[in-house]
Amino acid sequence: MRLRRFRRNEPQAQGQQSPQPNLLNKILNRANRAGPDQSESPPGDMPAFRAKGQKVIPEELRELRELIRHRYALDIEIWTLRNVLPRDRPVVEEKMRRADAALKKIRRIVLSLDSQEFFTSPKDYSKFQEIKSRIMADGKRNWTQHPPWEENQ
């Protein structure tokens, strides 16, 4: 059996169904525009698609705030556990993995909301820009690449 490869721009014969429906094309196009962080993430961690003109609701910002607080709590907990014995490190490494995943998700959400059209007023958007600048600034620790016990050596 031979498999035929389809190209996106290949003309279809009459009566044949397109190998990729329009919705699938949109998803694939969005995935192609996404950065490397998004392509490696599970679908549940992807920000929801926002239609043109759809505004950010307060609940979304509250969820983002809670995620930021969760990451901060994990950072504090990881740092306090920096002197654990090597046999106990897997427990801390799990927290490190979760903290890194939370930071990636926070950054994806912030990037997905970065448009003036998603906010009701320029004042709200300028507040969001301040939040974005702090989240995207350097200095956030990637725990899996730089474990806390490296500081003690």
Question: Is residue 42 pLDDT above 70, yes or no?
Answer: no
Overall average pLDDT of the 76-86 stretch: 94
Model confidence at 13, pLDDT cuts 50, 70, 90, reads: low
> Could you tell me the pLDDT band of residue 17, with boundaries at 50, 70 and 90?
low
Q: Is the pLDDT of residue 39 over 50?
A: no
Q: What is the pTM of this model?
A: 0.67
In angstroms, the CA 19 to CA 8 distance is 9
Confidence bin at 16 (pLDDT 50/70/90): low
Token representation of residue 40: 């490696």
Residue 139 has pLDDT above 80, yes or no: yes
Q: How much of the chain, in percent, has pLDDT values that exceed 70? A: 66
Q: How confident is the model at residue 38 (pLDDT cuts 50, 70, 90)?
A: very low
In this prediction, residue 85 carries a pLDDT of: 93
SS3 for 57?
coil
pLDDT of 12 strictly over 80: no
Q: How many other C-beta atoms can be found within 10 angstroms of the C-beta atom of residue 149?
A: 14
